[in-house]
Structures are given as structure tokens and as C-alpha cells.
Amino acid sequence: GIPPEAQADTIVVRWNDVAALERAMALHGRETACVVTEGVMSNMGVIPPKPGYLLRMQELCQEYGALFYLDETVTGFRLAAGGCAELYGLSPDIVTYGKALGGGLPMAMIGGRAEVMAGLEWGKVLHFGTHNAGRLALHVTKTMLETMLADNQAGFRRIKNLGKAMADEVRKVAKHSNRHKIVVQGVNSMFQIFFTDLEEVTDYRDFCGHVDRAKFRDFALRLMDKGIYMNPSATLHSLSSVVHSEADIAATVTAMTQVLEEMP
């Protein structure tokens, strides 16, 4: 488990709230080793950062001498070739990747500025592991990168366009549904549907207090009966891939329209 000391040494700051972050840094910035964030929240549906939020976070880290650590485990190689760092113009000190990086095989990666990574050199920080740099996963990762980056990143362009088209189509369906209040949030290849009374879900507190997770589960299970799989957990998200097609979007939208009509 997580030792209580780890939690005691962690300060949780409401996300997407610049004022809260500035207050926390003013109080604790000098003794803060590292500020950790995802660029787009992905374990509470999909919550994009407000304009300028992440850049301000990075700036505060520089001001107070804390490392800026961007967790791209979910967003890396999905939202853009360079993940959220590219999308929002960030230069994090530390980045982590996983999931899409391995194209389905177990693969994770840590990166950072040379000065930070030098801390791992020659065993200064031990980083041993059974699966470290496994050849099969490395080969698959190389193939994923070659495939997605070919033709001036056509693969990344495709998943972005498909994801945005999907989210836009679902927004249209949601608009026509007068019985269910639905908000669709997405960034490039990633989207989620929220049954909520809010206009926008901007952080975890919004998500916990205002998103009807049971209703989403019912929605997803009904979709499954019509042959469309969405993970029934509202905390997760849906993603486009290069094998999806415009026909998949059309079929999904038809099924969603029917399900929303059938739902109580």
C-alpha cells in the first residue's frame, strides 16, 4: 500500500484553479520537490485544462524551484505525437508514458531534462525491473512510432480527426435529447460523455458531485446490447484509433440515439 508518510508529504490542490495553485505554492513552494499533473484529466472522464492553466503551473514551478512533472501515461502518443506537452506548448522537467506507447504490449517510459535524467545514471537511483526494455515491447513500440509518424504524422492526424468528429456527432445527439442532460468533453482522440446538471466538468469535485455515474453505466450497457462497446465506467474515457472509420461513428451515433430514447 501507500505509506502514510507519502500522503503526508503530498499536497493536493484543486485542478484547473490557478488561484488555488498560487496560494499553495506561496505557502509551500520553496519546500516542494515536484508538481505532478496530467495535462488532460483522464480518470474522471475527460477534463481539459483551462487556457493557460498548465503554462502557469510550469511558470510557478520555475519560480519556486520545483520540478514540473507531466504524467502523459494516458495522453502520450494519443492527443498528439508529443502528447499534452506538444498540445499545450509545455516543457516539463519529467514526463512519464505508458499505455498507447506499447501499442497493447506492456511498455512504460520515463523521460526528462538531461540534468534530471542524470540522477538515474550508474544506479544513482535504482531502476531495475523484469520488464525494463523488453525486446518484444520495444519492437512493437518502434513499429507504432513508425506507423503513426509516417507521411508527416498521418496516423496522429487521423485519430485526432476521428475523435473530434465522434465528439461532435455525440454532441448533436445530446442536443436533440430533451430528456437527458448530457455534456460531451473531449480533446483530439479522447472523449467522454457526462450525464450532469453542469455546463462543464472542470475538476474532480465537479465530477464527484455532479456526474451521474449509474446513469452512464446504464447507457453504456444498453449500447453494448446494440453492439457498441464503451467502457461502462464514467471515470474512464473513449478513444479513437487508426482502425476506426467514419462508418463506426455513424453506427455509434445511431445506437446512441436509440439508447437515449429507450432510457428512463
Ligand X SMILES: Cc1ncc(COP(=O)(O)O)c(C=O)c1O
Q: Which residues of the chain form contacts with ligand X (CB under 6 A)?
A: 38, 42-43, 71, 73-74, 98, 108
Please identify, using beta-carbon distances, which residue of 58 and 73 lies nearer to ligand X: 73
Q: In terms of CB distance, is 101 or 170 closer to ligand X?
A: 101
CB of 19 to ligand X, least distance (A): 24
Closest contact distance (angstroms) between CB of 190 and ligand X is: 12
DSSP one-letter code for 79: S
CB of 67 to ligand X, least distance (A): 17
Rounded Cα–Cα distance for residues 21 and 56 (Å): 9
Residue nearer to ligand X on the CB measure, 102 or 260: 102
Cβ of residue 216: shortest distance to ligand X, in angstroms? 18
Q: Are 184 and 171 in contact (CB under 8 A)?
A: yes
- Indicate the pairing of strand 94-97 with strand 34-38: unpaired
How far separated are the first and last CA of the chain, in Å rounded? 41
| Distance in Å, CB of 107 to ligand X, minimum | 9
Sheet strands side by side (includes 67-71): 34-38, 67-71, 94-97, 109-112
* Assigned C-alpha cell, 111: 523521460
Q: Which is nearer to ligand X, 71 or 93 (CB)?
A: 71
Q: CA angle, 228 as apex, 225 and 229 as ends, to 5°?
A: 100
| Residue 132 cell numbers, joined | 525494463
* Nearest CB to ligand X, comparing residues 42 and 252: 42
Minimum distance from residue 99 beta carbon to ligand X (Å): 7
Question: Smallest distance from the beta carbon of 23 to ligand X, in angstroms?
Answer: 25
Provide CB contacts within 8 A for 175, sequence distance 6+: none
Looking at beta carbons only, is 70 or 255 nearer to ligand X? 70
Phi and psi torsions of 206, nearest 5°? -55, -45
Q: How far apart are CA 108 and CA 100, in angstroms?
A: 9
| Nearest approach, Cβ of residue 215 and ligand X (Å) | 23
Task: Please state, in angstroms and rounded to a whole number, the distance separating the CA atoms of residues 198 and 207.
Answer: 10
List beta partners, residue 97. 109
Residue 69, Cβ neighbours under 10 Å: how many?
19
Q: Which is nearer to ligand X, 38 or 93 (CB)?
A: 38
Cβ-proximal residue to ligand X, closest one: 73
Nearer to ligand X, 241 or 257 (CB): 241
Residue 202: count of CB within 10 angstroms of its CB: 20
